[in-house]
Structure 1
Amino acid sequence: MSELASGVQVVRGEMQPWSDQATPHPALAALLTDVVPANRRTLILGPHAPQQIESVLAHSADVTILVRSVADAQQLGEDFGPCLQVIAGALDGLQGEPYDVIIATDGLDRVLGYDSSDLSWTERLGALAGLAAPDAVVVLALENEFSLLNLLDSRPADERHGDDEWRPLHDDPTRPVSVDQLKAALPWRAEVYADFGSRTFVRADVAAAARPGELPTRLATAALESVDVPLLSPAAEGVDSACRAGLLGSIPTGWVAIAGAGATRDVYTQTGEAVLTADQNLTGWDVTITGDATPAFDPAVVPTTVPSGVSVETVLFRLAAAEDVPAFRKLAADLGEWATTSRVILRWDDVIFDGESFAYGVSPWVTEEPVDKEDLLAAAWSRFQDRLIGQHRRHPWPPWMLGDDLVSAWLGMSGIEPPEQLQATSPDTAPAAAVQVARGKELAAALGVLLETRTDTVDVRTALAEAEEAKQELFELKGHVYGLERTLGFRNKAMKTRENRIRELRGQLQRLTTAHERIRGSRTYAVSRVIFHAAQVRKPKTVARKVARRIRKR
């Protein structure tokens, strides 16, 4: 073992130039806070974010970190100083006294260097076990190859990791791919947590018992939806299917095994910049949330006890898919009676329904001032409409009844009548119902920003459906264009026939006019006119006397 000028020790397998990126995870830091015992000799294995390192340093006085990048080791030495012993090198090059605590929440994929042997996952685990004391506390993460996001990832396998994530692990038959295999592979008795996007950690047995719409399922779905991965289909559908089969603990992005530690919580999840923890009891969940209050985030509104039950959104989805409009209408009316003016933004995916009553969930998002009941319901229904249509779920309403029209109909079911429409001052004045829905859409959009809901990504299934719809529309438009072209052709021929007929009539009219003028200028016509007027005389004797008088006068 050698030492650099910066005080960083170097063992065999160091990589230079190189850098491994680590992302901070507040929920994982909270889990480590509960797991790491005080004043024990600790080893942090692999790249970890400063937030995780600080959570370990807060409990242990003698902490060593092993990273394969020399540049990362030097940076850690500068950031933490003498309170953290930094070693640059590979796992197979580290030797020394056993450690009482080993933290490897990045897993065993990034612990070997260029010069290291091509060790399998089991061999790496053996090297890690050789560094652990008999009664050591070990925290080990494992990426799940059978994760839902991995199965739905639209990218080819060779494009899912770039050159900056060099992983010398290929098709390894010794690598565990389930909770049971992971427990069997570990040399210690361990508790396993399901890791959903490093934002939510759920105890494996609790995840296996979770069903659609329950608290662990809601938190897991929200965590997976926040991961920036191009998917073949929405993750929510796969999560619900896995929950119905009792397989929620089998589809996370990874697992975290904890051996030799004391009591921990059932659920750890990141909510904004805070961390929410929960323990399951006989009637529901005991909830604790840590974080500073802001104008949009108030931990005080989160109840300390959340009842068990499914979300209102899950029930509404089921009723809409079953086309049970009367039951949907009744539930909407009950929600309208239950809702009140409040600072808490209503969201049906976090309101709990136990079959008889409603209760708030674990959402701490609020507004600065209390919002009217009508606006809160408009925001909740607007968000529900986006999720219903965005997930391509079945519903009994006409396909052209979307957006504001559908939200207005649901508001009417909740007992919210549109305000009285005043006389419009201009042709562009929006109706009162549209103004009411617009306020709800603003609140829903603000909540989407706080929840980091991504609306700019389109899964492949949606893209294919839109492409098929566009293809069908193009085919129909082509038929319509063909019909129009045919009609225009017929009309063009009819117009040409009519034009020829008009020309013929004009020629005949000109000939008749010329003949008429010639007849009018002849002497025969003049004599005929005299005869015609003479024939009109009814009393010839009277006319003769008048003519004689005029002659005599002349």
Structure 2
Amino acid sequence: MSEVQVVRGEMQPWTDHTTPRPALAALLTDVVPANRRTLILGPHAPQLIESVLAHSADVAILVRSVADAQQLGEDFGPCLQVIAGALDGLQTEPYDVIIASDGLDRVLGYDSSDLSWSARLAAVSALAAPDAVVVLGLENEFSLLNLLDSRPADERHGDDEWRPLHDDPTRPVSVDQLKSALPWASEVYADFGSRTFVRADVAATAGPGELPTRLAGAALESVDAPLLSPAAEGVDTAARAGLLPAIPTAWLAIVGAQPPHDLYTQTADTVLTATQTLTGWDTTITGDPNSTSVLAFDPSVVPSTIASGVSVESVLFRLASAEDVPAFRKLAADLGEWVTTSRVIVRWDDVIYDGDSFAYGVSGWVAEDSIEKEDLLAAAWARFHDRLIGQHRRHPWPPWMLGDDLVSAWLGMSGVEAPEPTQATSPDTLPATTEQVARGKELAAALDAVLETSTTTVDVRTALTEAEEAKQELFELKGHVYGLERTLGFRNKAMKTRENRIRELRGQLQRLTTAHERIRGSRTYAVSRVIFHAAQVRKPKVVARKLARKIDRRIRKR
């Protein structure tokens, strides 16, 4: 454990939250010169500190938290000089490299002077040598996520992100303002969710569906924040207007060094770098990929050269919004011919379309074994369905044709015929078409899980839409209940009428039974019965002789 140096402005007890940023670590590896006196300013994740230590021999880090400083001293030992305190309390010789990728918001303590952003920048400039390499981060107040955040401004930062200044007129809020505010010439990268870094000049020329826009949108989708509406629509709109570098979560200014790549992005446990060429992108992948029980990332399937073009998903969205079903059907048929049995999971948001042909993008997620063409198409269409309906985009299909029915229709457009229907063996047996789509949905869900795009956070627009749908459904159910209540009322009245009639008939039956019993017990009824039986006699003389004999025998016995 190295000894912690304490300067004015330290905070205790306190700790600042940090998260790993592999893409930023790869960028720092490319820009930090070797064997130079380096200062890391502000809280940084251990992974970033390790990437700097791997290139520099004399590294110091300034953090305002004494607890964080002690932990860093234990983790890195004598190879890292740890200083606890505030920026305005640090007095030292100039540094050849200053890394403040966290920005200047968490470098002051409770007792620090009320320094504006420009005053903090001046303090950083005083610590930098004339030819120093400076990496400076700046949070974007105009970021898309900040504009769509449903939380009030005072609830967006927790105690572990305490910032003494929020409203500062000297703070830059655009790429041009940041370049103008810096006392050095700089190269600015747009930071999308700390997962994707795109050179600002390249991002300004990227259109909807192109590689920088796709990766920027995927990075913002992975940020777990309560939003007013999905971020994907705003990313495409900004790209169409050439304002993609104006909406990232932050910017990263690099002074005194030229990064070799235009794009850095994190995927799985690897970092993909890409450099724009006249015909497309040259890509490289570093790091050890991770894997899950279902899917794994295979860098070997990612092309080293990716053609320029838009994603198939953006074209399908456009055709669906324009209600151009014939063109949608033709494109689906072409996709059905292009897809073949493979281990690579097909996703329309990463398949590139140049108007004539298709090509794979930067997604390298594969299954353990080869997957049939029909299952790959089902997975791609199931994922497209979730993104089309989940983002509330316009489409020409009726609202009741959703879910498996719509996916089955798209599969049919791609040339996948529904299997022959089989006789159900039980009431719970699913149709063959549903089983076909279910396999695709499983693959799509596994892909969303590894891409970290399936979150439980629901944006306000979706919540309001679901609430309106629930309200409409409730209204319809109330009408249905009212109809059932009327029907039950009519049936109840009919049953009461029948019950009253049955009671009347029972009363009449009781009265008739009583009268009948009274008649049967009378002498008149007895005489009538004798007369009735006498009338049945066909030979009266024979009966008379028999009666005479019986009477004679009885008289004799007496």
Q: TM-score, normalised by structure 1?
A: 0.91
**Structure 2 residue identity aligned to 1:303:** P
CA shift, 1:469, in A, is 2.1
Aligned to 2:405: 405
Partners of 1:106 and 1:263 lie apart in 2 by: 18
**Structure 1 residue identity aligned to 2:319:** L
Aligned to 2:468: 468
* Residue of structure 1 aligned with 2:175, choices 163, 173, 179: 179
CA shift, 1:322, in A, is 2.2
Give the secondary-structure state (helix, strand or coil) at the position aligned to 2:297. coil
Aligned to 2:235: 239
Partners of 2:359 and 2:478 lie apart in 1 by: 53
Aligned to 2:396: 396
Q: What is the count of residue pairs matched by the alignment?
A: 542
Partners of 1:406 and 1:134 lie apart in 2 by: 63
Partners of 2:310 and 2:530 lie apart in 1 by: 106
CA deviation string 1:343-396 (max 9, x = no partner): 111111111111111110000111121111111111111111221222222222
Q: Is the 8 A contact 1:104 1:139 kept in 2?
A: yes
After superposition, the Cα gap between the structure-2 partners of 1:485 and 1:434, relative to the gap in structure 1 and judged at 3 Å, is closer
After superposition, the Cα gap between the structure-2 partners of 1:51 and 1:550, relative to the gap in structure 1 and judged at 3 Å, is closer
Aligned to 2:454: 454
Aligned pairs for 1:401-440 within 5 A? 401-440=401-440
After superposition, the Cα gap between the structure-2 partners of 1:533 and 1:54, relative to the gap in structure 1 and judged at 3 Å, is same
Give the secondary-structure state (helix, strand or coil) at the position aligned to 2:112. coil
After superposition, the Cα gap between the structure-2 partners of 1:305 and 1:533, relative to the gap in structure 1 and judged at 3 Å, is farther
CA shift, 1:400, in A, is 2.6
Aligned to 2:555: none
Q: Is the 8 A contact 1:292 1:299 kept in 2?
A: no
CA deviation string 1:187-206 (max 9, x = no partner): 11111111001000011121
Aligned to 1:373: 373
Is the aligned partner of 1:79 residue 2:75? yes
Give the secondary-structure state (helix, strand or coil) at the position aligned to 1:66. strand
After superposition, the Cα gap between the structure-2 partners of 1:129 and 1:484, relative to the gap in structure 1 and judged at 3 Å, is same
Deviates more, 1:80-89 or 1:214-223: 80-89
Give the secondary-structure state (helix, strand or coil) at the position aligned to 1:401. coil
Partners of 1:522 and 1:240 lie apart in 2 by: 108
After superposition, the Cα gap between the structure-2 partners of 1:189 and 1:63, relative to the gap in structure 1 and judged at 3 Å, is same
Q: Is the 8 A contact 1:18 1:70 kept in 2?
A: yes
Aligned pairs for 1:83-94 within 5 A? 83-94=79-90
- Segments of 4+ moved more than 6 angstroms: 516-522, 524-534, 546-554
Aligned to 2:339: 339
Q: Is the 8 A contact 2:224 2:455 kept in 1?
A: no
Q: Is the 8 A contact 1:313 1:349 kept in 2?
A: yes
Give the secondary-structure state (helix, strand or coil) at the position aligned to 2:229. coil
Partners of 2:512 and 2:200 lie apart in 1 by: 104
Q: Is the 8 A contact 1:291 1:299 kept in 2?
A: no
Q: TM-score, normalised by structure 2?
A: 0.90
Aligned to 1:540: none
Partners of 2:272 and 2:26 lie apart in 1 by: 9
CA deviation string 1:242-282 (max 9, x = no partner): 22222111111000011121243111100111001111112
Partners of 1:444 and 1:497 lie apart in 2 by: 60
Partners of 1:189 and 1:268 lie apart in 2 by: 21
Q: Is the 8 A contact 2:333 2:413 kept in 1?
A: yes
After superposition, the Cα gap between the structure-2 partners of 1:529 and 1:387, relative to the gap in structure 1 and judged at 3 Å, is farther
CA shift, 1:19, in A, is 1.9
Q: Is the 8 A contact 1:276 1:288 kept in 2?
A: yes
Partners of 2:545 and 2:367 lie apart in 1 by: 118
CA deviation string 1:112-159 (max 9, x = no partner): 122210100000001111111222211100001111111111111111
Give the unaligned 5+ runs of structure 2.
549-558
Q: Is the 8 A contact 2:199 2:263 kept in 1?
A: yes
Give the unaligned 5+ runs of structure 1.
537-542
CA shift, 1:78, in A, is 2.8
Aligned pairs for 1:485-500 within 5 A? 485-500=485-500
CA deviation string 1:38-97 (max 9, x = no partner): 222221111111211222222222222211222222322232233222222211122222
Aligned to 2:551: none
CA shift, 1:519, in A, is 6.7
Partners of 1:503 and 1:369 lie apart in 2 by: 76
CA deviation string 1:426-461 (max 9, x = no partner): 443332222222221221122122112233221122
Aligned to 2:106: 110
Aligned to 1:317: 317
CA shift, 1:398, in A, is 2.7
Give the secondary-structure state (helix, strand or coil) at the position aligned to 1:158. helix
Aligned to 1:268: 264
CA shift, 1:6, in A, is 4.1
| Aligned-residue CA RMSD (Å) | 2.6
CA shift, 1:552, in A, is 9.0
* Residue of structure 2 aligned with 1:129, choices 125, 141, 150: 125
Partners of 2:493 and 2:542 lie apart in 1 by: 71
**Structure 1 residue identity aligned to 2:383:** R
Partners of 2:424 and 2:159 lie apart in 1 by: 62
> What is the percentage of aligned positions where both structures have the same residue?
82
Give the secondary-structure state (helix, strand or coil) at the position aligned to 1:133. strand
Give the secondary-structure state (helix, strand or coil) at the position aligned to 1:463. helix
CA shift, 1:312, in A, is 1.0
**Structure 1 residue identity aligned to 2:187:** E
**Structure 1 residue identity aligned to 2:338:** W
Partners of 1:90 and 1:211 lie apart in 2 by: 42
Aligned to 2:218: 222
CA shift, 1:509, in A, is 4.6
CA deviation string 1:374-425 (max 9, x = no partner): 1111111111122122222222223232222222222121111233344444
Partners of 2:177 and 2:255 lie apart in 1 by: 15
Partners of 2:398 and 2:238 lie apart in 1 by: 30
**Structure 2 residue identity aligned to 1:338:** W
Give the secondary-structure state (helix, strand or coil) at the position aligned to 1:348. coil
Aligned to 1:212: 208
Give the secondary-structure state (helix, strand or coil) at the position aligned to 1:38. coil
* Residue of structure 1 aligned with 2:162, choices 155, 163, 166: 166
Partners of 2:417 and 2:475 lie apart in 1 by: 42
* Residue of structure 2 aligned with 1:49, choices 45, 67, 89: 45
Give the secondary-structure state (helix, strand or coil) at the position aligned to 2:189. strand
Is the aligned partner of 1:70 residue 2:71? no
Q: Is the 8 A contact 1:208 1:243 kept in 2?
A: yes
After superposition, the Cα gap between the structure-2 partners of 1:473 and 1:268, relative to the gap in structure 1 and judged at 3 Å, is same
**Structure 2 residue identity aligned to 1:352:** I
Aligned to 1:328: 328
* Residue of structure 2 aligned with 1:288, choices 269, 284, 302: 284
After superposition, the Cα gap between the structure-2 partners of 1:256 and 1:505, relative to the gap in structure 1 and judged at 3 Å, is same
Partners of 1:84 and 1:507 lie apart in 2 by: 106
Give the secondary-structure state (helix, strand or coil) at the position aligned to 2:60. strand
**Structure 2 residue identity aligned to 1:260:** G
Is the aligned partner of 1:157 residue 2:160? no
CA shift, 1:506, in A, is 3.9
Aligned to 1:445: 445
